[in-house]
Structure 1
């Protein structure tokens, strides 16, 4: 087990600006492995916030890559119980300076139907009670990180260019509503989220994106729309349908992420 306990070695830094570092891919629902990850070494890290197991360190196209399963092995950890601080701390301690997150979401915007792939550029956080900052460890002063653009513009452009390179249709912007979960939303809640300007709804973007910003890690996302939000379709939402859509989109997203890593 590797020890990543030292706060002094993980002090905040400026938002991502260097393309020469290590990229991490965080897999969400339906995205449990990373194609073409070679020379894989399994890691467990001890952080100030707990152990992080199941990290896969390897290479894609000769470049160092870390793969992490957000919900743990076997998808056992629900969104509100994920140890986001331990996860992001562990990645930083391994030298990661940019994260490509894969998220399964519901669709709210008119163009965000099941099967759509979206590269979001904004977040509204509706979650609560989650440990959402490193300020208690990193500094004696509150760290008011700049968060106007929660997703790194450089990573957004990288992902969009990768999609163009493989002729994969994607939406190049969207607003991600992060709800608490693990239950799905009511029709009235989705109507409210739409009035607020959200086009996607999920449960895992926050505090993941904000914690990455606190540690100076660039953060971008590839969202797979698995279902319409409640009340936006006459058909009931079923887990079987969600899993089927995610399975259909997984290969496309593997290609997109692989192109971005290469």
Structure 2
């Protein structure tokens, strides 16, 4: 399980909301992307653990996370472009960890704290103070959620495809 702070690129996803990541658009560059030296073609039809996400979807909205390099906030034009690609939230930390976790056949899911509207959505200047403030406000809710998820997952029979991620992936 991981958590991150994200900006909302759509008005209906509001600051202060917790969302889970159901899909990823990786727009990063210059980051290590694989553990392998040789070609390995891992299936990312479900980039995050569908079994964990099925627990999260009972209470939270699933989103498409656009991952950028950072460490800056995006421009309004970039945000418009990302929404055309299907993105709903934007952040800087999910890639490559989501892909590396799958390469290790790990069950991995991510909950994001929507800390602000992205550039150009509400016409408001973005500050790191706003991000940190909302993150602090949501710390206890995240701890409670993760504790509940871990307890629920402990006794659950794993039926997800994550442990078999490398089956049929090598040449």
| 1:55-75 deviation line (CA, Å, top 9, x unaligned) | xxxxxxxxxxxxxxxxxxxxx
After superposition, where does 1:35-114 map in structure 2 within 5 Å? 100-114=1-15
Q: Distance in 1 between matches of 2:98 and 2:148?
A: 22
More strand by share: 1
**Aligned equivalent of 2:102, options 197, 204, 213:** 213
Q: Structure 2: 5+ residue runs without aligned partners?
A: 152-171
Alignment partner, residue 19 of structure 2: 118
Q: Distance in 1 between matches of 2:129 and 2:25?
A: 28
| Deviation of the 1:154 alpha carbon | 0.4
Q: Distance in 1 between matches of 2:21 and 2:80?
A: 20
**Are the aligned partners of 1:159 and 1:256 in contact in 2 as well (CA < 8 Å)?**
no
Alignment partner, residue 259 of structure 1: 148
| Deviation of the 1:158 alpha carbon | 2.7
Q: Distance in 1 between matches of 2:80 and 2:13?
A: 15
Alignment partner, residue 148 of structure 1: 45
Runs of 4+ in 1 over 3 A off after TM superposition: none
**Are the aligned partners of 2:5 and 2:131 in contact in 1 as well (CA < 8 Å)?**
no
- SS in structure 1 at match of 2:108: strand
TM-score (norm 2): 0.84
Q: Distance in 2 between matches of 1:239 and 1:142?
A: 39
Q: Distance in 1 between matches of 2:99 and 2:111?
A: 17
| Deviation of the 1:108 alpha carbon | 1.0
Alignment partner, residue 132 of structure 2: 243
- SS in structure 2 at match of 1:248: helix
174-183 or 107-116, larger mean C-alpha shift? 107-116
Larger radius of gyration: 1
2:97 is aligned with 1:183: no
Alignment size in residue pairs: 151
**Are the aligned partners of 2:10 and 2:121 in contact in 1 as well (CA < 8 Å)?**
no
Higher relative contact order (CA 8 A, sep 6+): 2
RMSD: 1.2
Q: Structure 1: 5+ residue runs without aligned partners?
A: 1-99, 164-169
**Are the aligned partners of 2:116 and 2:131 in contact in 1 as well (CA < 8 Å)?**
yes
